[in-house]
Amino acid sequence: MRRRLVTVAAALLGMLLVALMVPLVNAYAEDRTQDVFVRRLTDVTRFAVLAERALEDGHFNELETDLERYADVYGGTVVVTDANSVVIAASTPGADARDPDVARAVEQALSGSGTSPPPTAWPWQGNPIVLGSPVGRDAQVLGSVILVTPTDDIRSDVGVRLGLLVLAGLAVLVLTAVGVVGPFVRWVLRPVSSLDEAALKLAEGDLSTRVPALAGPPELRHLARSFNQMADNVETSQQQQRDLIADASHQLGNPLTALRLRLENLRATTGDEGEADLALDEADRLNSIVESLLDLSQVGAHQVTAQPVDVAAQARHRCEMWAPVIEHLEVDLPVSATALATPDIVDVALDALLDNAAKFAAGSRVEVRLRTLDDHVVLSVRDHGRGLHADDLSQVGARFFRGREHQNIGGTGLGLAIVRARVETFGGHFAIGPAEGGGLVAEVMLPRWTGAQPRSLK
């Protein structure tokens, strides 16, 4: 939009400059042509007097000498004819009156008429100025004097003036576009730019973003108010959802705790430990789901600050904690790899991924690797288990999803969803898919720290 406005404004300014320059150039060209015409007409009149004497006396040597001297000084060609259009004297030997322009001027002069003003001389036209004057007194015409003047000087002067005006116009156009049109367009579009930035922040999850609704034209103020109202509604809706999940999770916590205590008392009273243990396991699973829902509801609810985190050091410490649980754990970590993230993201991600590997790929080899790829630090966990059914791969990471072959294995189905949400909060990426040779590989891509200041994210 900015480019279009600048183009339209520059085009209008260009047309204005053209409208101003064309009359100036035209007036200059007309003045130069008229000036030459008047001066040459005076010369033609003088030659007509000299030619009259020569025609009366019959002596043309002195006249030809004057014509040749004039041509040497001022250029052009001067031709004198008698009443029968026969050349009797000329500034150039061998000159005749058969040229169409000269012939018309001779015919007009012999009819007793003077020469009309010539058309304006332009650089792209090479026609000379042809002037004629009758020779004689009163109504008696004895002959004619024709002066052919080249217009090279006029066309050169007009071309130079036209070029200077074009250059000046271009300079004015550029300076005006840079110094006036550009800032003016930016001022006009400033509310639109603010709205665009706010929409981008809102799309990235910053629900507190609002735009000023008191600046700009009425249409943009109305649009700003509509945007703020939409942002209010989105923020309210999200907050209500979080509050609902948090309240439900909190309210379910006490009944679940009481239920577990009653089940333990029931087991102690009846002595039927098998059924009681199954009921307790289900109560524990339900309690884990409630806690996971509470954790998931907090993602994006608070302002977080991404800061430099040594992913290698944290991953090394977490793998040491999981080593007794996973029999075949291979760790390949560099000495140091710093990412821009939250301090607990490595613990959250590895706990979920290694817990899944321990449960769903029990007894297989699990590999934890860390590498730097372009602008990201990539933490990957790969197991050599049975993997997932092809139809289940597209749903991995969805909330409450559990593979069709793992329905009987304990879990809430929220671990990977929590990892994905937490990682994407500060611009990271999470992906999981089949590994070459079997099993699954999960990758957590964190923004690489390059020394930039920590940033706050919603």
CATH number reported for the structural domain that contains residue 266 in this entry: 1.10.287.130
Instruction: Dump pLDDT digits (tens) for 396-449.
Output: 655 555 554 554 454 555 677 778 877 887 778 888 888 887 888 888 999 888
Instruction: Dump pLDDT digits (tens) for 303-327.
Output: 556 788 898 998 998 888 888 888 8
8-12, 217-221, 244-248: which range is least confident on average?
244-248
How many domains does one find in the chain? Answer: 3
Q: Same structural domain for residues 413 and 276?
A: no
Among 254, 281, 300, which residue terminates a domain? 300
Full domain range(s) for residue 13 = 2-157
Q: Same structural domain for residues 131 and 252?
A: no
Identify the CATH number of the domain in which residue 75 sits.
3.30.450.20
Taking the model in full, what pTM does it have?
A: 0.45
**Mean pLDDT score, 354-368:** 84
Q: Same structural domain for residues 309 and 283?
A: no
Q: Same structural domain for residues 327 and 430?
A: yes
Compute the distance between CA of residue 318 and CA of residue 352 in angstroms, rounded to an integer. 11
44-48, 78-82, 187-191, 323-327: which range is least confident on average?
187-191
Instruction: Dump pLDDT digits (tens) for 149-162.
Output: 888 888 888 888 88
Arithmetic mean of pLDDT over the chain: 78
Cα separations in angstroms, 69 against 75, 127, 162, 248: 9, 23, 34, 115
Length of the chain: 458
Q: Same structural domain for residues 324 and 395?
A: yes
